[in-house]
Amino acid sequence: MYDVSVPVFSERLRALTIVLTKAEANAAERKIDPNVFLTARLAPDMLNLTKQVQIATDHAKGAPSRLAGRAVPRYEDNEASFAELQARVAKTRDYLATFKPEEFEGSDERTVTLKIGGNDVELKGLKYLLDVAMPNFYFHVTTAYGILRHNGVPLGKGNFLGRD
Amino acid sequence: MYDVSVPVFSERLRALTIVLTKAEANAAERKIDPNVFLTARLAPDMLNLTKQVQIATDHAKGAPSRLAGRAVPRYEDNEASFAELQARVAKTRDYLATFKPEEFEGSDERTVTLKIGGNDVELKGLKYLLDVAMPNFYFHVTTAYGILRHNGVPLGKGNFLGRD
C-alpha cells in the first residue's frame, strides 16, 4: 500500500513542479501576467489552475494520512502566485517523505470514512486509494497540465512524466 | 500487482464509456457533427480525442499483458466514430477480464522491456506500472474528458469517476 501511494504522489508532484516552473518562465518570457495562467480554466465551469494544484496536493496529503491513520494536515488554500503554489507542492512532498512503509500495513483492509456530498461514506483502504484518491489526484495534475498547454506553454508529455 | 492494474484500467475505461456516451448524445442534441468532437484537441500540438482514447486503451491492454508475460494484442487504430471508439474500449475491457491474478505473481520484480524514443528501456514491473503505464493512461483518459468539457459537453467529475 505504501509502494502504490506515497512514492506515486511524490513523483507526480515532482513532475508538477517542473510543469509549474516552465509555466512561470513562459509567462515572464511572453510578458503575460502570471495571474492569467493561475486563473485559467478549460471551461467556464471547471476549476482554475490554482485550484487544480491545490486539490491535487489535497489528495496527495490526504490519502496517505487516511491510510496510515494520521490526521490530515490542514492547508489554508490561500496561494496567490506560482511561488506559493510551488511551496505548497514542496511542503506536500516533504510531508510525504515522513511516511514509513510500516504505517501502511493492513491499510488495504482498513476502513476509511470520507465526506462525499455531505454524507459519510465508508470504503476499504484499497478501494479508497484506487477508486477515489488516485483518479482524483491524476485528474487534477493532468488538468493543470492541460490548462497550461491550452494557453500555449511549451510543455510535452515528458514534462508531465517528470523529465525536465 | 493484479489488484493495482487490471481492475483499475477496467473501471476507468468503464467511466470513459459513460463520458463518450454523453459526448455523442450531446453532439446529436446540439446538431454538431460528431467528427468535431472526435478531432478536437486542447492545443494545436496535442492529440485529438480519438487518439486520446486509442492511447488510453493501448496502455490498458499493454501494461497487464507485459506484466503477465503475454503478447500485447494489436489494434488497427482505425476508429472513425464514437461507436467504433466505444467498441475499442469494450474490447479492451473484455480482454482485461481474461486476466487471472496468478499471472501477476512476481511481476513487480519482472523485467519489462519498452521502446522509448527508439531505444530499448528495461524497467522492473512495479516501476513500469506506476511510473509509465498508469501516468500515461490517466493522462489520456483525463485529457479526453478535458477536450469534451472544453467543447461544452455537460460532464462532471462524477462522470469521470464512473457515475452515470
Q: Do B42 and A146 form a contact (C-beta atoms < 8 A)?
A: yes
Quote the DSSP letter at residue A104: G
pLDDT tens digit string along B35-88? 999 999 999 999 999 999 999 999 999 999 999 999 999 999 999 999 999 999
- Name every chain B residue with its beta carbon within 8 A of the beta carbon of A8: 130, 134
| Disruptive mutation site among B46, B51, B147 for chain A (greatest number of A CBs within 10 Å) | B46
Q: What is the pLDDT of residue B117?
A: 79
Cβ neighbour number for residue A162 with a 10 Å cutoff:
17
The interface predicted TM-score of the complex, written ipTM, equals 0.97
**Rounded distance between C-alpha atoms, residue B16 and residue B22, angstroms:** 10
The three three-digit cell numbers of residue B126, written as one number: 512495479
Cβ–Cβ gap A146/B143 under 8 Å = yes
Cβ–Cβ gap B136/A7 under 8 Å = no
CB-based contact, B134 to chain A, within 8 Å: yes
CB-based contact, A146 to chain B, within 8 Å: yes
Query: Which residue, A56, A46, A55, is CA-closest to A15?
Result: A56
**Rounded distance between C-alpha atoms, residue B43 and residue A42, angstroms:** 11
Share the mean pLDDT of chain B: 97
CATH architecture of B6-160: Up-down Bundle (1.20)
Cβ–Cβ gap A135/B160 under 8 Å = yes
Q: What is the pLDDT of residue B29?
A: 98
Domain boundaries defined on chain B: 6-160
CB-based contact, A4 to chain B, within 8 Å: yes
Helices (H) and strands (E) in chain B, counts: 7, 2
First to last CA, chain A: 28
CB-based contact, A143 to chain B, within 8 Å: yes
**Rounded distance between C-alpha atoms, residue B117 and residue A107, angstroms:** 38
Of B76 and A118, which is predicted with more confidence?
B76
Query: Which residue, B125, B157, B163, is CA-closest to B5?
Result: B125
Phi, psi (degrees; rounded to nearest 5) at B98: -85, -10
Cβ–Cβ gap A143/B142 under 8 Å = yes
pLDDT tens digit string along A64-104? 999 999 999 999 999 999 999 999 999 999 999 999 999 99
